[in-house]
Amino acid sequence: MESPLSIETNMKNQHLASNTESPRQSVAVIGAGPGGLAAAMQLAAAGMSVRVYEAQSVIGGRTRRLTVGDYSFDCGPTFFLMPYVLEEIFSACGFRLSDFVELQRLDPMYRLIIGDKNGSSKVIETTQNVEEMVRRISAIEPRDGPAFRRFMDDNRTKLERLTPVLKTRVTSLFDMMTIEGLQAAPHVRPWESVYTQLGKYFKNPKVRLSVCFQAKYLGMSPYECPSIFSILPFIEYEYGIWHPTGGCNAITTAMARACEKMGVEIVTNAPVEEIAFEGRRVTGVVVGGQHHRHDRVVVNADGTWALKNLVPARLRPRDSDESIDSRRYSCSTFMLYLGLKGEVDLPHHTIFMSGSYEDNFRDISHDGKLSEDPSAYVHNPSPRDGSLAPAGKSSLYVLLPVTNNRPAQCELDWSVEKPRLREDAMKQLETVFGIKDIRSRIEVEHLVSPLDWQNERINHGATFNLAHNFKQMLHRRIPHTYPNLDGLHFVGGATHPGSGLPVIFLSSTITTRHICELAGIDHPLSQPTMATA
């Protein structure tokens, strides 16, 4: 008999695909984050019986809503890119994304403040208008403005060549020996960093940083991030940056609502304690000390944490705890969520790049210490979205990239460093971001350190998962279907293609396609679909 878990949703499936004649496989999804919910939608649409187990009291994972008093915040991601990737999944499941969430295109996309140790900062307001960006960059460095057009043209081709690889399950280099893989190969260039490659376009160091800081989305330094990721800034300028009304957590809420309509069960306050096996075959999950039987398990929890804590060591000899922990990990983040009296005169997104940017990343990635002049990011959604703060007030999200908690790298005592870093952030908010009297305006405040992230079942508190260095790309990330174990699958930022909402959605499609292939049924994206009215 199943334990009396609090079932958040349990509705009859109204949107099953034409696979219902076959016996319905039962699938457990561990984690109601974006990857888990996207996988649940696609598997339910393929005709499978799906239950999602979420450890937290609310859905969303790192993309959940955080409510403090009368203020609401995105817990993690605040940038929403490439909405067409998620629209395709909704359409395949018989829905329209626009029926569930309102998306607002941002212009300016964000404000960049590029610091200088020896001079004045440069400020760039970014826009999708390429010709306007040419003018704004030319005002900093005349030679670099026209190069922006060439950068866009080259990366348009690059993304076109890479897209089939980003959508493909890669188990070895042999999987790249296809026409699409060979066409993509010249664009990979593993010996180049993003910063090095951008040097072929932009001579001014500030301009170059303004078009490669997006490596931060992967928790990496542009001086180390592989050049393949120059597609990230291109994607922003080509397809725009969007704000979902209510925040990025509205995206996961939309997916949960779609899951409800398809009969997916979402169980909250249900941390999975173990993935159960008979021999090498998955038999389900253990929650609250009880075994819940399922034919397959899809892991959307932090990938390396899940391997270490949910899969018995005897079944993963190639992935011992020691080998997992010896891998490269992304940075972590120090977060301030502030509810302020009054309005804040900042754009929706403002990014400050320290005048000691390279030193800042060396401190984070190699030395495991805090920087004297840290970089920072501020999200100020209230002027555009009145749902996140009381009228006339502001919901402010502040992020500082910091070192993760991997023992070989970090010996910081966060009980000591947390107040110190808060003070550094407050000074920056006053001086760099120009928010006057901020301390006296604070009504609510919530701080999160790498230790807090680690306590949320995130290995080493590395909020962007495994690093994306070349030795941890493609088949060198956690496999979508775990080898030699029957019925164990992974989605999320630790798998190929990597971190970030759009590619996590691609990861969910790669994994669910393979599950459908193994089950001998059609995947919902394998047939033309039309959204229901």
The neighbouring-strand residues paired with 393 are 341
Q: What is the mean pLDDT of residues 492-504?
A: 95
pLDDT score for 2 = 34
Q: Is 431 helix (H, G, I), strand (E, B) or coil?
A: helix
The neighbouring-strand residues paired with 486 are 281
Spans of all domains in the chain: 7-102+246-326+467-526, 130-239, 331-460
Residue 367 phi, psi (nearest 5): -95, -15
Q: What is the mean pLDDT of residues 466-490?
A: 94
- Interatomic CA distance for residues 285 and 476, integer angstroms: 26
pLDDT at residue 502 is higher than 80: yes
Q: Is 103 helix (H, G, I), strand (E, B) or coil?
A: strand
pLDDT score for 9 = 33
pLDDT digits (tens, 9 = 90+) for 199-227: 999 999 999 999 999 998 899 999 999 99
**What is the side-by-side order of every strand in the sheet holding 272-278?**
272-278, 281-287, 290-293
530 pLDDT band, cuts 50/70/90, is very low
The neighbouring-strand residues paired with 379 are 349, 397
- Interatomic CA distance for residues 183 and 121, integer angstroms: 41
pLDDT at residue 32 is higher than 60: yes
pLDDT score for 179 = 67
Start-to-end Cα distance in the chain: 39
**Closest C-alpha to 504, from 2, 16, 37, 13:** 37
Q: What is the mean pLDDT of residues 135-147?
A: 97
The neighbouring-strand residues paired with 67 are 72
411 pLDDT band, cuts 50/70/90, is confident
pLDDT at residue 531 is higher than 90: no
277 pLDDT band, cuts 50/70/90, is very high
527 pLDDT band, cuts 50/70/90, is low
Widest CA span of the chain, in angstroms? 72
Tokens of 1: 């008999």
From the centroid of its chain, how far is CA 404? 17
Any idea what DSSP says for residue 224? Answer: T
Domains 7-102+246-326+467-526 and 331-460 share a fold: no
Burial (Cβ within 10 Å: 0-12, 13-18, ≥19) of residue 520 = exposed
Tokens of 262: 């398809």
pLDDT digits (tens, 9 = 90+) for 400-409: 999 999 877 7
pTM for this model (two decimals): 0.93
Q: What is the CATH number of domain 331-460?
A: 3.30.519
Q: Is CATH 3.30.70.100 what the domain over 7-102+246-326+467-526 is classified as, yes or no?
A: no
